[in-house]
Amino acid sequence: MFSKFLLFTVLVAPVFSLWPAPRQMTTGSKTIVLSSSFSITVKGTAPADLSQAIARTTSFIKNDNMGRLIVGRGSTDAASFKKALQLPGLTLKYTGSGAIPSISTEAVQDVTARNEQYTLKIPADGSAATITAPSALGLFRGLTTFEQLFYTYEGTIYTAEAPISITDSPAYPYRGFMLDTSRNYFPVPDILRTLDAMSWVKMTTFHWHIVDSNSWPLQVPSFPQLSAQGAYEASMVYSKADVSQIIAYAAARGIDVMPEFDTPGHTSVIGDAYPEHVACQQTSGAYDDTVANEPPSGQLRFAVPATSDFAVSLVKSISNLFTSKWFSTGGDEINQKCYDNDAPTQAALKAAGLTFEQALSKFTVAEHAVLTKAGKTPVVWEEMVLSHNVTLSPDTVVLVWISSADATAVAEKGFRLVHAPSDYFYLDCGGGGWLGNFVGGNSWCDPFKTWQDAYSFDPLNGITSDQAHLVLGGQQLLWTEQSGPENLDPVVWPRAAASAEVFWTGKTLPDGTAANVQNALPRLHDIRYRMVQRGVMAINLQPYWCAVRPGECDL
């Protein structure tokens, strides 16, 4: 047993560089060279998005031009090329019933209902490789794995570890990334590029924090004044066509776009078009940090019936733009002092005979009712469960953000949860304070969250085995006070790939070793270099000297 394990490690470890690591894998040591006539075929009729995925995989294999990350970049493999067998093709086999569904159809199913499992085989005898899966998503995940198995040395495309047999499926269904497009705007191509990179590491969910207090970049058909008045500039608006394009682009890559309309806080900008609905809006003058967590202050007067109706109608209109089964109504950082000072709110509470908390619950129930009616699952930030007395449907999903420790309390209340903790997963931390005249100030969530921090996250820490089913997965997040198109890729990649492996692979690598930053690093380098080859500006994790010498820069 021990000797087998050692053998496995020695033969496989240097070449194995998939990200995320598959759940089960056996490999050999034979080199197989890609035939010049290599092609990918599908048993049955491929839906359009699967055909497009196949075309991308073919392109990546041929154009990644990725040399193995060792000294010589694969020169030592070259001796084996001449007598190596050729891989004639890859065949995709759908094992579900009926015609092969589209990736896009499956990608927008409830995240807990999707099937991503697949089996991938590259024989050592020169016969075709196969990917077998009971779903289009499974076939697509298999393709994503397949395209990471090949290296190029002086024009020869090869894998050095045949026979390869992989049986794979994710540990958690929700593997996401959140982008805030309100604090600073990101053009559509930046979002599409981000979706591409997400798909390369098998993520399932793009949590789109579209709007916030700063700007309203979303064109909502029934409420055109919101973006007309609240977008930063006319050019900084996501039209209905943009949204549809983003959803379709994501879905074709196995990603669901979960929209967020954060309420009742973080809504200052609504006051630009509808001042009657916003309390303590900062329209000019200095920032008052007693009524908001950051400028500009301003929150929906949720206790006022007309405002509640407005917000509920807006939730409905926004959710209609999206195909996702999930919708986040936010609910973080509600500032009570703002409402305490707000005459319309106080009058409304008095008229209705409701306390602040009762009114908040009534408002949230009303918002969620339209979602439930549309067959959607409501998602909220953790305060809705931990800080307020809000009536929530038991299927509500809770985003844990303030501290990873808060997952315990959410699970104890019986809610399903997604890990999004600032102490592990906030990509914006550590860049210094951004408020003006804040000399020498650091960011509130210092220090910088390294990929190692994210990678060391334990999804079940503080969770009992009885509660484990409540943990749906997790995501890294980018709040964009100090970001924009200029640094989107460098801030996000390859760091956000860390959680993608945590929630796909779990704690054990396919060779039985425990996942840790040491055995992750060479593989993370690998996917980072592939990202760069494919046009995503993922940053160097180490000097190139270290990247091609796994282990030699370990402390």
Q: 425: part of which helix (H) or strand (E)?
A: helix 422-425
491-516 in b/e burial notation, b at 16+ Cβ within 10 A? bbbbbbbbbbbbbbbbeebbbeeebe
Assess 484 for contact with its own copies (CB under 8 A): yes
CB 2 within 8 A of CB 135: no
Which listed range, 105-113, 388-396, 448-456, 460-468, lies at the site for its own copies (CB under 8 A)?
A: 448-456
Assess 483 for contact with its own copies (CB under 8 A): yes
Task: Report the residue number, 77 or 256, with the smaller CB distance to its own copies.
Answer: 77
Shortest approach of its own copies to residue 544 CB, angstroms? 5
333 counts as catalytic: yes
Assess 553 for contact with its own copies (CB under 8 A): yes
Q: What are phi and psi of 371, to 5 degrees?
A: -70, -50
Among the listed residues 245, 452, 513, 533, the single contact to its own copies using CB under 8 A: 452
Site string for its own copies, 226-255 (x = CB under 8 A): ------x-----------------------
Among the listed residues 221, 224, 414, 432, the single contact to its own copies using CB under 8 A: 432
Shortest approach of its own copies to residue 180 CB, angstroms? 9
CB 388 within 8 A of CB 378: no
Assess 286 for contact with its own copies (CB under 8 A): yes
Site string for its own copies, 184-213 (x = CB under 8 A): xx---------------------------x
Assess 438 for contact with its own copies (CB under 8 A): yes
How many residues touch its own copies (CB under 8 A)?
69
What's the burial of 96, exposed, middle or buried (CB within 10 Å: 0-12/13-18/19+)? middle
How many other β-carbons are positioned within 10 Å of the β-carbon of residue 361?
18
Task: Report the residue number, 242 or 481, with the smaller CB distance to its own copies.
Answer: 481
What's the burial of 455, exposed, middle or buried (CB within 10 Å: 0-12/13-18/19+)? buried
Shortest approach of its own copies to residue 77 CB, angstroms? 17
Among the listed residues 23, 114, 183, 368, the single contact to its own copies using CB under 8 A: 183
Shortest approach of its own copies to residue 384 CB, angstroms? 25
Q: What is the DSSP secondary structure assignment for residue 261, as one 8-state letter?
A: E
Site string for its own copies, 101-140 (x = CB under 8 A): ----------------------------------------
Shortest approach of its own copies to residue 462 CB, angstroms? 18
Measured in Å, how far apart are the chain's first and last C-alpha atoms?
30
Among the listed residues 287, 293, 423, 511, the single contact to its own copies using CB under 8 A: 287
Tokens of residue 448, six digits: 């910088």
Q: What is the DSSP secondary structure assignment for residue 180, as one 8-state letter?
A: E
Assess 221 for contact with its own copies (CB under 8 A): no
Assess 81 for contact with its own copies (CB under 8 A): no
Among the listed residues 408, 482, 513, 533, the single contact to its own copies using CB under 8 A: 482
Site string for its own copies, 486-505 (x = CB under 8 A): xx-xxx--------------
Task: Report the residue number, 164 or 492, with the smaller CB distance to its own copies.
Answer: 492
The CA distance from 9 to 7, in Å, is 5
Shortest approach of its own copies to residue 103 CB, angstroms? 29
How many other β-carbons are positioned within 10 Å of the β-carbon of residue 453?
18
One of 333, 412, 486, 501 is an active-site residue; which one? 333
Assess 181 for contact with its own copies (CB under 8 A): no
Which listed range, 29-37, 58-66, 171-179, 439-447, lies at the site for its own copies (CB under 8 A)?
A: 439-447
Shortest approach of its own copies to residue 183 CB, angstroms? 4
What's the chain's Rg over C-alpha atoms?
A: 25
Task: Report the residue number, 123 or 474, with the smaller CB distance to its own copies.
Answer: 474
Please identify which residue in the block is written with the tokens 């200052």.
268
The CA distance from 171 to 471, in Å, is 10
Shortest approach of its own copies to residue 211 CB, angstroms? 13
Q: Is the peptide bond before 494 cis (omega within 30 degrees of 0)?
A: yes
CB 16 within 8 A of CB 68: no
Task: Report the residue number, 440 or 512, with the smaller CB distance to its own copies.
Answer: 440
Strand pairing of 397-400 and 416-419?
parallel
The CA distance from 468 to 402, in Å, is 20
Q: How far is CA 329 from CA 129, 238, 265, 399, in A?
A: 45, 19, 10, 11
The CA distance from 365 to 371, in Å, is 10
Assess 163 for contact with its own copies (CB under 8 A): no
Q: 240: part of which helix (H) or strand (E)?
A: helix 240-251
Please identify which residue in the block is written with the tokens 């609910």.
331
Q: What is the DSSP secondary structure assignment for residue 353, as one 8-state letter?
A: T
Measuring CA to CA, which residue among 356, 430, 432, 414 is closest to residue 390?
Answer: 356
Shortest approach of its own copies to residue 92 CB, angstroms? 33
Assess 289 for contact with its own copies (CB under 8 A): yes
Among the listed residues 95, 442, 464, 508, the single contact to its own copies using CB under 8 A: 442
Q: Report the amino acid identity of residue 56.
A: R
Contact set for its own copies, span 293-312 (CB under 8 A): 295-296
Shortest approach of its own copies to residue 429 CB, angstroms? 10
Q: How far is CA 82 from CA 122, 266, 391, 437, in A?
A: 19, 63, 68, 66
Please identify which residue in the block is written with the tokens 């439930």.
372
The CA distance from 20 to 524, in Å, is 9
Task: Report the residue number, 259 or 296, with the smaller CB distance to its own copies.
Answer: 296
Assess 446 for contact with its own copies (CB under 8 A): yes
Assess 514 for contact with its own copies (CB under 8 A): no
Assess 14 for contact with its own copies (CB under 8 A): no
Please identify which residue in the block is written with the tokens 């050019």.
235
Which listed range, 198-206, 354-362, 382-390, 450-458, lies at the site for its own copies (CB under 8 A)?
A: 450-458
Bridge partners, residue 218, by sequence: 238
The residues that touch its own copies, with contacts defined as CB under 8 A, are: 183-185, 213-215, 232, 282, 284-287, 289, 295-296, 430-442, 446-453, 456, 480-484, 486-487, 489-491, 516-518, 521, 532, 537-546, 549-555
Where in the sequence numbering do the catalytic residues fall?
333
